[in-house]
Structure 1
Amino acid sequence: MWGRTELGLLFLDMFFVPGHLRGKSYGTRLLALVEVEARRRGCSRAVVETSSFQAPRFYARHDYEEFGRVEFGIGGHARIFLRKHLE
């Protein structure tokens, strides 16, 4: 996982849990810790982008909402932009 905080925003640039560790709440717990740290740093929102075949449902389960989408034009996939209010 890596990202940055700036301008009052948490930018989650890469968030990945290896396949053999998925389904064990590691991703949920790590995301919660990152959001706590972002709040501590004064962030009021989080922003993440993912592909439609990756993790949009994971983020939706954690109250992230889609605010943009760019269709790839092949395979019916898209790049999805999500945000969450942290306050």
Structure 2
Amino acid sequence: MKIEVTSDHNAELFDALVDGVRQFNAQHMGDETSKPLMVCAKDKQGRVVGGVAGRTIYRQFLIEVLWVSESCRGTGLGRTLMVQAEEEARRRGCIAAQVDTLQFQAPDFYQKLGFEVIGQVTDVPPSPDRVFLFKRYV
């Protein structure tokens, strides 16, 4: 056996690891395919000014990133993007959503949308606290 450590992203290795996890999961939960879900907003010039990206799998919406440009913050765009993303997740049969964010980023934003804090990682200087949130749709 040979063990390697690398800092380079190796798509082939990553895909092999994900495939291994999927095969294991299928033995316990049946076949399921992760499906990307993205909602984006563009300005009149076609520049991205905000968006949410994640995936749906096992009837859950896993939110990976949400961003709104400074020029659009406070306008309700983030909420609009999340509402549209969650509507699509529900259409896909999702019954819950989950996200993690840093304490200085958006835990309050997600809580206003009905997410509940289900865990935190604290006291790991110099890293800020990490907040895990969950929302059940049904």
TM-score interval, smaller chain: over 0.9
Aligned counterpart, 1:28 = 79
Aligned counterpart, 1:15 = 66
SS of match in other structure, 2:109: helix
Q: Quote the offset at 1:76 in angstroms.
A: 7.8
> If the length of structure 2 is used for normalisation, what is the TM-score?
0.60
Q: Does 71-80 or 43-52 show the bigger shift?
A: 71-80
| Selected match of 1:64 from 115, 124, 130 | 115
**Alignment-mate amino acid for residue 51 of structure 1:** L
User: Which sections of structure 2, spanning at least 5 residues, go unmatched?
Assistant: 1-51
Q: Percent identity?
A: 37
Instruction: For 1:58 and 1:71, locate their aligned partners in 2 and report how far apart those are by CA, in whole Å.
Output: 19
**Which gives a bigger RCO, structure 1 or 2 (Cα 8 Å, sep 6+)?**
1
Aligned counterpart, 1:80 = 131
Instruction: For 1:44 and 1:30, locate their aligned partners in 2 and report how far apart those are by CA, in whole Å.
Output: 18
Cα deviation, 1:27-86, whole Å, max 9, x if unaligned, reads: 011100000000000000000000001000100111100001111422583111001112
SS of match in other structure, 1:38: helix
Pairwise CA RMSD: 1.3
Aligned counterpart, 1:42 = 93
User: Which sections of structure 1, spanning at least 5 residues, go unmatched?
Assistant: none
Instruction: For 1:16 and 1:53, locate their aligned partners in 2 and report how far apart those are by CA, in whole Å.
Output: 14
Instruction: For 1:45 and 1:59, locate their aligned partners in 2 and report how far apart those are by CA, in whole Å.
Output: 13
